[in-house]
Amino acid sequence: MAKTTPIEFLNQVKTETKKVVWPTRRETVMTGVMVVVMTTILAIFFLAVDSFFETLVRTLLSFAK
């Protein structure tokens, strides 16, 4: 395996970086909004599931008294 010098490595990194297609500002904002929306939906879902199980457990424990 051939060894790459640090200068060659940096040149390869620069070449590969030029091939990257960077997202537009609008794409970045839309992706951020979707992350916030999905996170909120999941938080509400898990709150509902947690509340359901809390009620279930409290009901079952009330029968034990």
The answer, yes or no, to whether residue 1 has pLDDT greater than 90, is no
pTM: 0.66
pLDDT one-digit tens code per residue, 24-49: 999 999 999 999 999 999 999 999 99
- The C-alpha torsion from 29 through 31 and 36 to 40, rounded to 10°, is 150
Residue 64 has a pLDDT of 86
What Cα–Cα distance (Å) separates residue 38 from each residue in 41, 42, 49, 51?
5, 6, 16, 20
Domain definitions of the chain by residue range: 38-64
